[in-house]
Structure formats: structure tokens, C-alpha cells
Structure 1
């Protein structure tokens, strides 16, 4: 990573401090453009009545997006000037059952857990227990990545900004097989690394490692720390970082996946292994309290909950999350757990989406210069509904009209997230496949340092693959020659997924190895016979 000259870095730090002080003032009363720091723009004028009108339209917008997407239910909260001005639910907690969604219905937040968790970290930075710049190994001495130098230098902030070099979604495949958090984190050392601090890849377990270091520094487990540091002080009584708490709520939204032309509650996502990255559950009303705190620089009614300086570090850009592919396209930026961007209005926005293919989709959008924010929680796999509703509201609040068909755009973006995994998904088996060997030739134990042992057994003349700590068992179906297929399970295997399983023979014709396609995303899917 290129380092700035010290005087330039100091100038940037001074400008950031100036912008912070001005931003606090700007929320109380408009600041003349001539008084703004060079990097701070006032944005297009937004009269208060325009925001009032946007709030007034939310009922209709929510009903419209519910009907258009077909999802069972959603909840919305809007905060303005430190207060929740709108909190309401629409539709059903579970399709086919009478329970209605309201402002207190608890939803799984999925990756909205990341910005929520970043505010937990900021409390510990403010308390002096840790810093964003603290190396993770200072509090997790057992943690390692494949490069020893990176291991020694990767910080809490690096992992919250997804700039460690770990592959995209590193470790999620182990979670799908039932491995616990400690095992997943320990095995990250086996994955290849992209350039440190010069690349971006979204990693739930990288962030979880950082949060685990913070919890260790505080002498508490992550869920308890989150409750003590943020949830309880904000009065977020329906918010938790434990799945068991969500499962025990009577007023909770059940996750739904597509079934035919509709949605059905078929799967349950248990995200405790990556709780800091995806395991928070909350209600629209509770999230309103949290949004107001963020927009008020960490305070509520004048009382500090999260110190302003470490919170500012989280909500300002630290990495380019998506490079521009044209000179008229804005890049996407990422802070510590927060997406950071600039609207066409000239106003900075903070945002994040959350998605479980097993049945949750959420969206957050904050406009700090207007002290305005919206959160949308839904109980279905990602369709674009949550993002579209939040952006429609942002358009109305800033411009007085909706600028485009946001749902159509977001639906196209979200479609791949629920697309079947595996190159053979939807394909027809060969009409005249090459014959397989005798089933007993494939049977036996195979080894892999990342995924652990894999066992191939013969049951009633067919092959069964067993893998993972439980273990999970998958019947194999012959496809062609030494290729078999199976239906994978878990968050990363949406309905219709079909994975190839390719056995390889050595020079003597003996089966020596097997490669499992859906395990091979980072080149780790080859299992070898001892």
C-alpha cells in the first residue's frame, strides 16, 4: 500500500477533523457553503416539507413493494433529527399464518449486523481497550493467515474493511458444513491471500475474527459485549446477537425462500458462528434507536453511547469496495462495517444491505447531512425489495420524486444471490453416460487440510459422501464416467443447486483423489486418499 507523505496525511487528518465539527453544526442549522471544508459539499437544498412528504408516502410505497415482490412481510423505520418519526410493519410474519408484522417484529438482520457490530467495536476503542489499528494477534495469538507478515500486521480495522487479502466469503463453506467459529477462524490460514490492503473481498469470518479479538480484549463473549455496550444503553430490548434469543421471540419474522410462484418457510438460518457479521436480530423500532445514535455522532439525547471519534473512523471510507468500470461511474467505498457513497444530490450516504439466501433481506440508508435514515427489514431471500424501498424514500426526501424504477434494477442485481450453485445446475444428465467403476473402487477415506476428512461409503449399491464435523451425508448420483453429482445444502446452496464430484485415477487406475466442485471456490476442494 502506498503511504502518503506525513505532512499530506496530517493535512487530511486536520480536514477530517474540521469536517466532523462542521457536520455536527450542520445538523442543527444550515452552514453557508463558504464555511465548509473543501471536501464537504452542502448538497442540493432539501426543504423540511419535502422530507415530510416522503414520510407520508411510505405506507403506499411499502404496500406497493410488498405486492410487486410477493414477499410475505416487511418492517420500516425512519429517523429524523434524532427521533424515530415512522415505524411500521406490513404483511405477514409467516406466509399462510395470521401473525402480522409490526414495528416490534424481530427480523434476522443478516449483514446489517456488520455496521451494528462496528458501533460495538467503537465503544471499546473509545474505552481504550483496543484500537482500530490493533493487530488481531495481540488478542487472538492463535489466529494466523497464510502469510506470516500479514498475520502479524492485519488489524481489527483491516478485517472490518475487508482488505486483509482473504478470498471472498472465506470460511462460509466451512460454516455450511457445521464447523464452529474457532475451527473456521483457525483454518483461514490455509487460504491464499490477495495483496494486503490493496484488494477488497467481502469476508464474514475475517470480520468475525476482528470482532472476536475485540471481545477478547473486553473479557467477554461477543453477544454479551454487544448487549452491554450498545443494545441495553439504547433500549434495544428486542435486539440480540444470539440465535437462541431470536428463536425464542414470539413476535418474530420467519425466513422464506422461493417455492413455485410464491414463497415458503422451508429453511432456518442459524448464524451464530459468524454472529458479528450476520447474527444480529432486531426490530424496526429498535433499529430506529440505533440509527438515531449513529446520525447524532454516537449520542442520544445528549448522552454519549458510542464515542464520536472511533465512530467517525467506522463511517468514513477505508477501502474501494467496487472499482468504477467507466469514467462516468462512481466507485463504491467501504469504511469499517459501513458502505460509504455520494448521492447525485452531492450528499454523503452510509448504507449496507443484508441477505440470507435461506430467507432474509435488509437494507440501511443514512444521509448524515440531513440527519435522516431509513431501515427496511424483510423476511424473504434477497429480491431487491428492501433496497428499492429505501432508495425510493431517499429519492423522495432529496428530490421530491422517484428518479427510476429501483425495484427493477435491484431485482437484477439480487437475482444471482439466489441462483443455484454448481455448473451442472439445471443441466440434463448425459443420455449415454460412460460407465462408472465398481462402487467399492470409490469407497474409502479422503483427506483435505481445509475441509477435513471425507468418507465415501457404499449403501444399497450407491455412493454416499460424508463430510464435516456432524458429519453431513450426501447421496451421490452417477453422471458420467468418474463424475457424480449431489445436492449441496446450506446458505451458499440455493434451491436447484447441483455440484459435480469428480474422482481421479492414478497411473495404476486406482481412485486417488476426488474434487468437490462447490468446495473448490478457492481451490481447496480436492481430497486425496492417504
Structure 2
């Protein structure tokens, strides 16, 4: 059982490791305050540990580990340990595809059936890699943590995909789809004539100086690694067996360290340049960081759009590029302020509820940036016309939401639960469940009638 003292341990990073990562040897003036904030967040979230990297003025200014990498051995967390980063992986799949596109090895607007012969003539083969990579192909979502192994699994699974993947027409709206990103990775594999992992390594990670980051568990285990943890009887427990599904590597299975992810952000914010060399092309950077599809909810940003594995938007006067990730036992987030050449990377080997506090403290202390939180309007009862526009059945596959009107009030039914709902502004429903925090559903209307409800980043289409 972990004690608060063991959770609060701060790892000492070896000088050789620091030199390898290009880390400054002199700690910045705010380092002690950030350490204090990070330790507190690790303890309050019940996470075993965390690693943090901070980029200032286009350089890695600080990286540190907190807590423990393994609750059983009490091994201290060090900044350079590998952790799984969940959907942060999508930035790397997107950058690989952007490089292939810049090299004219793939046309992102071409139907994927023209690239993958087994899909030609199927409805799924008519979608484009662009639609898949921007979550606008109309595909259902599922995230399968355990599945086939071996690098041939990606093609084995993706060649079997059928027309049952659709919940709506392609190109209509954004809806997060892990299978869509996995298919995009496979299309890249076919077009690039290499396995997916090899393409990402050769086109993105190794040029950026990411020496240890890998998709391969048997390689990751040969380096310093932090194991994933989840709540169990008596406290945090190691996730056993380790999560693995090679067929979904592209969607969320990368192992990486905070300092190596910092190198990726530095290159991305500098037009692909790092250490005086071109890691990836400026055109690829533009493709990755261009917003293509409106992102409902916006990840807290103004005018948020989705690029290739990254949410782009604004917070006050600052442009922001960001993406989070979660996979069994791990949570992660990267946030970049490209105009300031600043970034914060937070990786956690357990619950991610402390990430916000660590990220906010790091951004404020290192750059003076303060998240612009505008208070939303107060929730209100919907009027008759608004109720009429919303009432209906919405579905994504077998997952169904129903908006009901009872005694002149809006209710949302999911399963057997019927929950009160109020409007915030004109495009957001706040749903109050019997237990837990309120849920926010975002509304997209067409011709005066709601067409989609968004729960998180997933769309439910009106039936």
C-alpha cells in the first residue's frame, strides 16, 4: 500500500540520461514550485507517479519524475521512463501520413479502396484517409485494449472491416473513432510499403531524436519503463496482463518518455526543425496542425478544430495545439502554445485527474500563460420550440440516447436511467445523473432541428 511519502518521491535523473535528452543542467527558478504542485497533484489523484517535461522558447527547460513507477517494487519514477501515451499516439500516425502525402506517396483525398484492394467496391472503401484521420468518416468507435498480436495483425483486422462500421454518412460531422485511425495507419502501411511502426519510426520519431520511443512492448521492456496502474482492492494495482492490441497501435499504443515527446513538440512548433536539422517537412507540419473539422466541446478552446491527431484552437490571444490520451493504467496530455514555442507534457501511470493541475501550474510558472476560462451561461429550462427541436432518438451503433419531454421539461434517457436536462446557451445540454458529475451533451442542428448529440467527442446521429 502506498504512503503519501512514497507517492511524493521526486526522482533524481542521472546526468548521463539528462545529457542524452538534451536537458538543461541548471534548474529554472520555478522548478521547486512546479515540483511542489506536481507532487500535490500526484497525491490527490492517487496516481502512483507522473513525468513532466516543459518546453520554453523552443528548448527543453525542465523534465522531472514524481512518485513511483511500480507500486510493488517502489521503484522511483524518473523523467526518462517510457509510459504508454494513449491517444497522443494519433499525432504520430497523423505526422507519418502527412509526410507520405508530402512525398506524393499517398493522396489523402483518394478513396481508401483504391489503396487497399480488398476494400474496393465496399462502402467502407469509399471513405478517404483524410476523413479517417480527422474523425469525419462516419465510423463507429470502439477501443479494444486486448487483441491480436504481431505486426501483421493491423492488416488482418483492417482488411476484414465491413460496412457495418457506419453510424452516419461520411463527411457529415466529427466523431471520435479509434478504428478509423487504425485504418488510416493501415492505409499508410500499404502506401508506404512498410509496417506501420517502421514508418512512424523512420519518418517521425527517429528524425526528431526520439531514440527510445517505440510501439513494441518487447522493446519497451528493455528500457526504463513505468507500469500502468488502476484502482483495485486495497489501493492501486498494476494492470496485468499488460495491454496489447497490435491492430490498434495507430490509435493509442505508443510508449514514449516526456523528454522525447518534448522533442516532437519542439520540431512541430518550429516548422519541422530541431537541432538545426529538418526532422520533418514544413508541409507535413502544416497538414498536421491545420484544423479541418469542427470539434464539438472544443477541449476547452475557442473555435476548436481537429487536425491530424491534434485539436487546434485558441485560448484568449494564444493559439493552442493539444491532445490527451488514456489507455488501461495510463493517462497523458500534450499542450503546445506554438506562438510562444512553449509546451507541457504530462504522463501519468494511473488516474489522470491531476493532469490539469500540473499542466496549468507548469504553463503559468514557465510562460505566464493562464488558461482563459469564460464562465458559461447558467443552465435554463428549454422552451417549447427548443424542446420540439431536440426530442428524439439518437444512436451510434448499439449506444442510444433519447431526449424526452415530460411535463414540459427535457429529460435524457440512456439505458434505464431517465435524467433531467437543461440547456446552456443554445447548443449544450447539461444532464444530471443520479450519481456523479453532470454530463454535457453538445447539439448540432440542421434546418432548425437537432441532427447530432455529442457525448464527449462521440456523435450520436438522430434516427
TM-score (norm 1): 0.60
Query: What is the rounded CA distance, in whole Å, between the counterparts of 1:289 and 1:398 in structure 2?
Result: 18
Secondary structure of 2:183's partner?
A: helix
Equivalent in the alignment of 1:40: none
Equivalent in the alignment of 1:168: 141
Aligned match of 2:176 in 202, 222, 227? 202
1:376 to 2:324 alignment: no
Q: CA deviation at 1:251?
A: 1.1
Query: What is the rounded CA distance, in whole Å, between the counterparts of 1:257 and 1:298 in structure 2?
Result: 36
Query: What is the rounded CA distance, in whole Å, between the counterparts of 1:145 and 1:255 in structure 2?
Result: 42
Question: Structure 2: 5+ residue runs without aligned partners?
Answer: 1-27, 374-398, 401-457
Equivalent in the alignment of 1:335: 307
Equivalent in the alignment of 1:392: 361
Query: What is the rounded CA distance, in whole Å, between the counterparts of 1:384 and 1:56 in structure 2?
Result: 22
Question: Structure 1: 5+ residue runs without aligned partners?
Answer: 1-51, 405-421, 424-520, 524-530
Secondary structure of 1:223's partner?
A: helix
Query: What is the rounded CA distance, in whole Å, between the counterparts of 1:125 and 1:259 in structure 2?
Result: 45
Contact 1:108 1:280 in 2 (8 A): yes
**CA offsets 1:369-390 (integer angstroms, 9 cap, x no match):** 100011111111x432224322
1:360 to 2:360 alignment: no
Contact 1:226 1:241 in 2 (8 A): no
Equivalent in the alignment of 2:389: none
1:253 to 2:226 alignment: yes
Query: What is the rounded CA distance, in whole Å, between the counterparts of 1:288 and 1:145 in structure 2?
Result: 43
**CA offsets 1:171-227 (integer angstroms, 9 cap, x no match):** x35x64659434542234223331321212111121111121112111100111111
Q: CA deviation at 1:266?
A: 3.3
Equivalent in the alignment of 1:181: 154
Query: What is the rounded CA distance, in whole Å, between the counterparts of 2:280 and 2:138 in structure 1?
Result: 29
RMSD: 3.1
Q: CA deviation at 1:359?
A: 0.4
Equivalent in the alignment of 1:493: none
Equivalent in the alignment of 2:239: 266
Query: What is the rounded CA distance, in whole Å, between the counterparts of 1:230 and 1:330 in structure 2?
Result: 29
CA 1:145/1:56 → structure 2, altered by over 3 Å: closer, same or farther? farther
Secondary structure of 2:52's partner?
A: strand
Aligned match of 2:321 in 346, 350, 354? 350
Aligned match of 1:90 in 28, 53, 66? 66
TM-score (norm 2): 0.68
Equivalent in the alignment of 2:215: 241
Counterparts in 2 of 1:42-61, with a 5 A limit?
57-61=33-37
Equivalent in the alignment of 2:117: 141
Whose strand proportion is higher, 1 or 2? Answer: 2
CA 1:145/1:160 → structure 2, altered by over 3 Å: closer, same or farther? farther
Contact 1:145 1:190 in 2 (8 A): no
Aligned match of 2:273 in 292, 295, 299? 299
Q: CA deviation at 1:323?
A: 5.0
Q: Size of the alignment, in residue pairs?
A: 347
Query: What is the rounded CA distance, in whole Å, between the counterparts of 1:367 and 1:301 in structure 2?
Result: 19
Secondary structure of 2:207's partner?
A: coil
Q: CA deviation at 1:402?
A: 7.4
Whose helix proportion is higher, 1 or 2? Answer: 1
Secondary structure of 1:79's partner?
A: strand
Counterparts in 2 of 1:75-114, with a 5 A limit?
75-114=51-90
Name the larger-Rg structure: 1
**CA offsets 1:39-70 (integer angstroms, 9 cap, x no match):** xxxxxxxxxxxxx6665632122111111112
Contact 2:65 2:78 in 1 (8 A): yes
Secondary structure of 2:75's partner?
A: coil
Query: What is the rounded CA distance, in whole Å, between the counterparts of 2:218 and 2:278 in structure 1?
Result: 30
Equivalent in the alignment of 2:404: none
Equivalent in the alignment of 1:225: 199
